[in-house]
């Protein structure tokens, strides 16, 4: 992997970190540690995205202690640019399992389709009604409502909270965040009973056109590799994979038995 590719991955990872702030963040020799009471892996993991100089095993020990103090499992979010280069292998040797293969995709907005007809509500702040639909459709457990509300309110960048309304019901929701010429998309979801009707595409195009109108030149998102319908939709719109990421998770019993 050349230096330009590493810088691209690093910048896109920074965009993700900024878009959804964690409740707590710590920095340790190029690693970013985030904790949010267990809500989502991405907000409760180590992000080793910058050059590292200290002993890696000592750093892993520190992370395990840090997450244990927060009553959380130790999770690493890894990309091909993770530092140091042998980190993935070291974590595997220590008993970390590999989970949630994900693809980061990017598209340019130069020849973006126009927003299609249909009723779509675009908000610059997440009001209570939008949040209730967002929580319901993303399957957010009630115990995590305050965490997600804090994360949404803590976003310091321009945002767009989108909702597609069909037959007087909200049937699709998603979030767009503007940062450094990118509109990044998160938690794009369509109600199961309303899928395969073009509503997801309608939602995406409204978010992408919002971003373009705000000055974005590119868009990015992450999609779980096993989610074939979503991958097909994004690819048809023009998204192309830039890099994968995955998680290394330490099973609780592994730490307990050390």
Express each pLDDT in 70-117 by its tens digit. Answer: 999 999 999 999 999 999 999 999 999 999 999 999 999 998 988 877
**Based on the domain organization, do 45 and 66 belong to the same domain?**
yes
Classify strands 182-190 and 218-224 as parallel, antiparallel or unpaired: parallel
Q: Are residues 123 and 212 in the same domain?
A: yes
In a domain, 237, yes or no: no
Domain CATH code at residue 124: 3.40.630.30
Phi, psi of 82 (to 5 degrees): -60, 145
Q: What per-residue confidence (pLDDT) applies to 177?
A: 97
Per-residue pLDDT for 255 more than 60?
no
111-135 residues labelled b (16+ CB within 10 A) or e (exposed): ebeebeeeebbeeeebeeebbebbb
Give the pLDDT of residue 184: 97
Does 128 reside within a domain? yes
Answer yes or no: do 91 and 120 share one domain: no
Structural domain of 7: 3-101+245-256
Per-residue pLDDT tens over the stretch 201-240 = 999 999 999 999 999 999 999 999 999 999 999 999 999 9
State the average pLDDT over residues 164-186. Answer: 93
- How far apart are the two ends of the chain, measured CA to CA in Å? 35
- The percent of residues in the chain predicted with pLDDT above 90, rounded, is 76
Sign of the CA dihedral running 12, 18, 24, 29: positive
Both 175 and 149 in one domain: the answer is: yes
70 lies in the same domain as 132: no
> Residue 68 domain-assigned?
yes
Residues 167, 206 within the same domain: yes
Number of folded domains that form the chain: 2
The answer to whether residue 138 sits within a structural domain is yes
pLDDT of residue 181: 95
Percent of residues in the chain assigned helix, strand, coil, to nearest 5: 35, 30, 35
Surface-to-core class of residue 45, CB atoms within 10 Å of its CB (0-12 exposed, 13-18 middle, 19+ buried): buried
Of 184, 157, 158, the closest CA to residue 239 belongs to 184
Residue 167 within a domain? yes
What is d(CA 75, CA 77) in angstroms, rounded to the nearest whole number? 7
**40 and 119 in one domain?**
no
* Residue 224: inside a domain: no
Is 205 among the domain residues?
A: yes
Percent of residues, the chain, with pLDDT higher than 70: 97
Supply 76's token pair. 């690493």
47 & 67 share domain = yes
pLDDT of 257? 47
């Amino acid at each position: 992997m050349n230096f330009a590719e590493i810088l691209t991955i690093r910048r896109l990872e920074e965009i993700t970190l900024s878009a959804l702030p964690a409740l707590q963040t710590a920095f340790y020799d190029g690693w970013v540690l985030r904790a949010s009471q267990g809500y989502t892996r991405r907000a409760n993991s180590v992000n080793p995205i910058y050059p590292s100089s200290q002993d890696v095993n000592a750093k892993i020990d520190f992370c395990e202690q840090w997450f244990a103090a927060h009553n959380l499992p130790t999770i690493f979010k890894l990309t091909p640019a993770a530092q140091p280069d042998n980190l993935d292998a070291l974590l595997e040797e220590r008993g970390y399992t590999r989970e949630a293969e994900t693809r980061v995709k990017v598209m340019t907005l130069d020849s973006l389709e126009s927003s299609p007809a249909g009723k779509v509500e675009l908000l610059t702040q997440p009001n209570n009604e939008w949040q209730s639909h967002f929580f319901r459709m993303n399957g957010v457990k009630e115990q995590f409502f305050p965490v997600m509300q804090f994360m949404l309110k803590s976003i310091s960048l321009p945002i767009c909270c989108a909702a597609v309304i069909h037959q007087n019901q909200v049937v699709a929701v998603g979030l767009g965040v503007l940062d450094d010429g990118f509109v990044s998309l998160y938690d794009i979801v369509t109600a199961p009973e309303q899928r395969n009707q073009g509503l997801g595409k309608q939602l995406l195009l409204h978010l992408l056109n919002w971003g373009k109108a705000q000055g974005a030149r590119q868009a990015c998102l992450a999609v779980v590799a096993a989610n074939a319908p979503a991958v097909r939709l994004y690819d048809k719109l023009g998204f192309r994979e830039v890099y994968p990421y995955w998680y290394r998770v330490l099973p609780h019993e592994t730490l307990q038995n050390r």
